[in-house]
Amino acid sequence: MWKLLQIELFKIFKRPRTYISFVAVAALVSIIQFGLKVDGKMYVDFMLRDLSASFNIEGNVLNGYLVCYIILQLLLVHVPLLITLIAADLISGEANMGTLRLLLTKPVSRTEVILAKFLAAAIYTFLLLIFMAILALFVSMAIFGTDDMLNLKSGYVVQLKSNDIFWRYICAFCFAALAMLTVASLGFFLSLFAENSIGPIVATMSVIVVFTILSTLDIPIFNAIKPYLFTTHMIGWKGFFDVKVNNDNEAIIGSVQNLDKVLQAAGILALHIFGLLLASVLVFRKKDILS
């Protein structure tokens, strides 16, 4: 199994397209950081305009923690598309090249093959997220410094103490890993049914785009189906950046406002991963490999 995993990782990281995602993430993060460094004050003034009407706000508002939050908000919607490029190609790519049949002539079970491929996709996903975390969080902290974080939500403002943020990011990235792995599982599952990469990649992207639009549209008719779309739960990481308050309206350091909701979202994503992986194993074991 370990040998199989090594081979799969070798195959993934040998292909130039694997690095497109890393380059794209680096470019996007750098562009956002550059923009905020040059013109961030204007952005902050705009975001704080209602608050500034009644309050004087002093301190390093545009600090590394806030910049990372802004980057994650923007990127975690698009990173799934980059993950799809690899995950949806793992089986169909081999089928396209005619190496899948050859691979299965080796003395390993089909379950081992598919699990090794899935694990390789998961490792790629985690590496992309770690790369993103280093750029978005640590580089932003180095460029913009650190301070308390003001999470400006549409209805209220949450002030997080600087010593109460880092663990939230660790949790947020773990949650994001679950979300991205769900996407990888979907792409992986769809790649079982095609003999070229384009079909499952486009199909996975289409599902994500359609589901994301349905999740974000605030139209009552779609609200009923939102809980059943995995894309609705993918933004659950934001829950780590909201805190509970006590009876005196003081924010409780170290608390999470809707922890049960966040955990429920994580559970739903984990169920998706398990379900899609199980379905992939079952389909692959019964599949008639002709290419």
Partner 1 sequence: MKKIIFVFLSSLICHFSTSAQDVNSLIKKVRSKLDKVNDYIAEGKMKTDVAFIKAPVGKVKVFYKRPDKFTVKRDKGISILPKSGVSFNMSSVLSGDNYTAIPSGESTVGGDKVKLVKLLPNDDNSDVVLTTLYIDEANLLIKKANTTTRENGTFEMEMSYGKYASYGLPDRVIFAFNTKEYKLPKGVTLEFDTDDTPKHSVKNKKGRVEIIYSSYVINKNISDMEFK
Give every CB contact of residue 16 below 8 A, 6+ residues apart in sequence. Answer: none
Q: What does the angle CA 289 – CA 192 – CA 106 come to, to the nearest 5 degrees?
A: 45
Among 38, 105, 221, 249, binds partner 1 (CB under 8 A): 249
Two tokens at 145? 């410094």
161: left (phi over 0), alpha (psi -120 to 50) or beta: beta
Interaction between residue 195 and partner 1 (CB under 8 A): no
Q: Which stretch binds partner 1 (CB under 8 A): 93-101, 178-186, 211-219, 280-288?
A: 211-219
Q: Which stretch binds partner 1 (CB under 8 A): 43-51, 79-87, 89-97, 114-122?
A: 43-51
Among 34, 55, 228, 274, binds partner 1 (CB under 8 A): 55
Backbone angles phi, psi at 149, to 5 degrees: -110, 130
Interaction between residue 176 and partner 1 (CB under 8 A): no
Among 13, 81, 96, 147, binds partner 1 (CB under 8 A): 147
Tally Cβ neighbours within 10 Å of residue 98.
Answer: 11
Rounded distance between C-alpha atoms, residue 289 and residue 100, angstroms? 8
Among 14, 16, 56, 221, binds partner 1 (CB under 8 A): 56
Interaction between residue 150 and partner 1 (CB under 8 A): yes
Nearest distance from C-beta of residue 190 to partner 1, angstroms: 25
Q: Which stretch binds partner 1 (CB under 8 A): 16-24, 107-115, 129-137, 144-152?
A: 144-152
Two tokens at 124? 């790629």
Q: What does the angle CA 79 – CA 221 – CA 214 come to, to the nearest 5 degrees?
A: 10
How many residues are present in the chain?
A: 291
DSSP 3-state of 145: coil
Interaction between residue 96 and partner 1 (CB under 8 A): no
Among 156, 221, 260, 286, binds partner 1 (CB under 8 A): 156
Q: What does the angle CA 81 – CA 224 – CA 173 come to, to the nearest 5 degrees?
A: 35
Among 7, 9, 103, 148, binds partner 1 (CB under 8 A): 148
Among 2, 16, 38, 58, binds partner 1 (CB under 8 A): 58
Contact 246, 252 (CB under 8 A): yes
Among 154, 224, 260, 286, binds partner 1 (CB under 8 A): 154
Interaction between residue 278 and partner 1 (CB under 8 A): no
Contact 201, 88 (CB under 8 A): yes
Tally Cβ neighbours within 10 Å of residue 39.
Answer: 10
Is the Cβ of residue 39 or residue 106 nearer to partner 1 in the bound state? 39
- Contacts with partner 1 by CB under 8 A lie at 47, 50-51, 53-61, 73-74, 147-148, 150, 152-159, 161-162, 164, 215-216, 218, 223, 235, 238, 242-245, 247-253, 257
